[in-house]
């Protein structure tokens, strides 16, 4: 049997790779920098399947140069880099990896809450630099117990963060497009957006990036928050106006920001990095061995299903799922 031609943006984990190699002729881009556009266009000229990645724009123009393409799979829950309506127009189903990354991403998100509240990374810096005896210079942390955590975007990851917060004795409020039907079991209260900004001691952002959520957090929203508020973003960088966040931290409109995502990414020369009240991790929400392995497997499942014109297990545009 002739093998399917596929273009893959790495990393590609060993188990998934072995499965794909059996039936696919693979072109693999394994560098951390994104593939140059003209090279990608060449790769897609005869590709039947494509594993894309968050730092690559999959738009109408690209799709129009990929006449054989019948499935796109991406190893992430977010797919804001892909023009889904253009894919749907070309009857290309797009697979993603929800569910399998929920617990790992919730761990990292709550880890940012905990690490910023208790200044864990600053403590480590002190020890590393030989300043143990001057540890009193580290500003005192704050208790989580008895505090209010506000979650913006109460999907599966939000629910998993809420569980962790409740175990630490926090009250949880949330804002979402709609009230969750299971909110009694969640023991979390739906509030409007302004109320969440005003009442939360910690604000955790978990909304997908869309036209509506771009710069959802700007100057006005930071002004609305408590001056003691901790702001945690684990969704997408552009949900926050970076300059407004910088100003809010410098002016102490809020106390602290912990970010797993920033705008732009990679992020290396912004003055935000040098503020004492900021903690930034390099977009590692789902980066555990177990979770990335499962994401790789699900991505392979989606790709192989699409190549065989079978139903993708996780598809974001079900109207064109096989
Ligand atoms: C990244 C994520 O995809 O799932 C998402 O939407 O943001 C993450 O899981 C992952 O870090 C790969 O870059």
Quick check: 227 pLDDT over 90? yes
| Triad 45, 46, 48: Cα angle to 5° | 120
pLDDT of residue 185: 87
| Distance in Å, CA 105 to ligand 1 centroid | 9
Alpha-carbon distance values, 304 to 1, 4, 20, 97, 224 (Å): 15, 9, 8, 14, 48
* H-state helical runs in the chain: 14-23, 37-44, 60-64, 84-89, 102-118, 120-128, 156-167, 183-186, 193-199, 219-224, 242-250, 289-307
Tokens, residue 183: 């909110």
102-118 and 120-128 helices cross at what angle (nearest 10)? 70
Same domain for 238 and 182, yes or no, is yes
- Note whether 119 and 231 are same-domain residues: yes
pLDDT recorded at residue 183: 80
CB contact at 8 A, 235 and 157: no
| Rounded distance between C-alpha atoms, residue 140 and residue 277, angstroms | 12
Query: Do 188 and 262 fall within a single domain?
Result: yes
pLDDT(268) > 90 = no
Q: Is the CB of 76 under 6 A from ligand 1?
A: yes
Residue to probe by mutation, ligand 1, list 10, 12, 54, most atoms within 8 Å of CB: 54
User: Which residue is closest in CA terms to ligand 1's atom 13?
Assistant: 54
54-66 residue pLDDT tens: 999 999 999 999 9
pLDDT at 306 over 90: yes
Same domain, 108 and 228: yes
* 203-217 pLDDT, tens digit each: 999 999 999 999 999
- Residues 107, 34, single domain; the answer is no
pLDDT in tens, 108-124: 999 999 999 999 999 99
Q: Would you state the pLDDT for residue 116? A: 98
> For 37, how many CA atoms within 13 A lie in the half-sphere containing its CB?
7
Q: Which two tokens stand for residue 309?
A: 């014109």
Instruction: List for the chain the helix, strand, coil content (%; round to 5).
Output: 40, 15, 45
ipTM above 0.90, yes or no: yes
Residue among 313, 316, 303, 314 nearest 17 (CA): 303
pLDDT of residue 269: 87
Pick the atom of ligand 1 nearest to 283's CA: 11
Task: Report, as residue numbers or ranges, the catalytic residues.
Answer: 236, 265, 283
Res 90 pLDDT > 90: yes
Reported as a pLDDT band with limits 50, 70 and 90, residue 42 is: very high
Percent of the chain at pLDDT > 70 equals: 100
d(C-alpha 264, C-alpha 255), whole Å: 22
> Among candidates 264, 238, 210, which has minimal Cα distance to 85?
210
* pLDDT over threshold 90, residue 303: yes
The answer on 256 and 119 residing in a single domain is yes
Same domain as 257, residue 296 = no
Domain of residue 301, CATH code:
3.40.50.720
- The mean predicted confidence, pLDDT, of the chain is 96
- 112, 154, 229, 258, 308 from 279: Cα distances, Å: 8, 23, 14, 5, 45
The arithmetic mean of pLDDT across residues 246-268, rounded, is: 96
- The two tokens of residue 94 are 């797009």
pLDDT at residue number 165: 98
Task: Please tell me the predicted confidence (pLDDT) of residue 184.
Answer: 81
Same domain for 119 and 229, yes or no, is: yes
Residues 6+ apart with CB under 8 A from 146: 169, 170, 171
CA 11 to the chain's CA centroid:
17
Q: What is the pLDDT of residue 93?
A: 98
Are 180 and 186 contacting, i.e. CB atoms less than 8 angstroms apart?
yes
Average pLDDT over residues 66-85: 98
- Angle, in degrees to the nearest 10, between helices 156-167 and 102-118: 40
Contact present, 53 and 40 (Cβ < 8 Å): no
Q: How far is the CA of 251 from the centre of ligand 1 (A)?
A: 32
Ligand 1 center from residue 55 Cα (angstroms): 10
Q: What is the pLDDT at residue 26?
A: 97
Whole-angstrom Cα distance, residue 296 to residue 260? 21
Task: Summarize pLDDT for 127-146 with one digit per residue, the tens.
Answer: 999 999 988 899 999 999 99
How many whole angstroms from 154 Cα to the centroid of ligand 1? 18
Residue 155 belongs to domain spanning: 102-280
- Claim to verify: residue 160 and residue 242 sit in the same structural domain: yes
For residues 109 and 234, membership in a common domain is answered with: yes
In this predicted model, what pLDDT tens digit does every residue of 2-33 receive, in sequence order?
Answer: 999 999 999 998 889 999 999 999 999 999 99
Q: Are 252 and 133 in a shared domain? A: yes
Number of domains composing the chain:
2
Which residue CA neighbors atom 2 of ligand 1 most closely? 76
The reply to whether 110 and 259 lie within a common domain is yes
The predicted model gives 243-247 an average pLDDT of 98
Please state, in angstroms and rounded to a whole number, the distance separating the CA atoms of residues 84 and 90: 10
Residue 217 Ramachandran class (φ > 0 left, ψ -120 to 50 alpha, else beta): beta
Question: How confident is the model at residue 242, as a pLDDT?
Answer: 97
Work out the number of other CB atoms within 10 angstroms of the CB of residue 320.
Answer: 17
State the closest ligand 1 atom to the C-alpha of 286, by its place in the atom list counted from 1.
9
């Amino acid at each position: 049997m002739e093998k399917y031609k596929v273009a893959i943006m790495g990393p590609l984990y060993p188990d998934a790779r072995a499965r794909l190699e059996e039936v696919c002729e693979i072109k693999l881009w394994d560098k951390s920098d994104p593939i140059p556009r003209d090279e990608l266009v060449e790769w897609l000229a005869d590709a039947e399947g494509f594993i894309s990645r968050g730092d690559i724009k999959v738009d109408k123009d690209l799709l129009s140069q990929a006449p054989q393409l019948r499935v796109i799979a991406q190893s992430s829950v977010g797919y804001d880099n892909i023009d889904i309506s253009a894919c749907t127009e070309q009857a290309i189903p797009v697979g993603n990896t929800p569910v399998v990354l929920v617990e790992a991403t919730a761990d990292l998100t709550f880890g940012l809450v905990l690490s910023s509240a208790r200044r864990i990374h600053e403590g480590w810096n002190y020890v590393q630099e030989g300043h143990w005896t001057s540890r009193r210079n580290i500003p005192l942390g704050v208790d989580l117990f008895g505090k209010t955590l506000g979650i913006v975007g109460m999907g599966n990851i939000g629910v998993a963060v809420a569980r962790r917060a409740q175990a630490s004795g926090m009250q949880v409020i949330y804002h979402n497009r709609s009230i969750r039907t299971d909110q009694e079991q969640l023991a979390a209260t739906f509030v409007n957006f302004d109320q969440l900004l005003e009442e939360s001691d910690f604000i955790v952002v978990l909304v997908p990036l869309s036209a509506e959520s771009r710069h959802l957090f700007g100057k006005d929203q930071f002004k609305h928050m408590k001056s003691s508020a901790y702001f945690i973003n684990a969704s997408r960088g552009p949900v926050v106006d970076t300059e407004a966040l910088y100003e809010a931290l410098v002016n102490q409109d809020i106390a602290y920001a912990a970010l797993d995502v920033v705008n732009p990414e990679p992020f290396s020369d912004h003055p935000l990095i040098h503020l004492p009240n900021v903690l930034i991790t390099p977009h590692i929400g789902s980066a555990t061995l177990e979770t990335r392995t499962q994401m790789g497997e699900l991505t392979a499942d989606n790709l192989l299903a699409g190549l065989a014109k079978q139903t993708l297990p996780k598809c974001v545009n079900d109207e064109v799922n096989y």
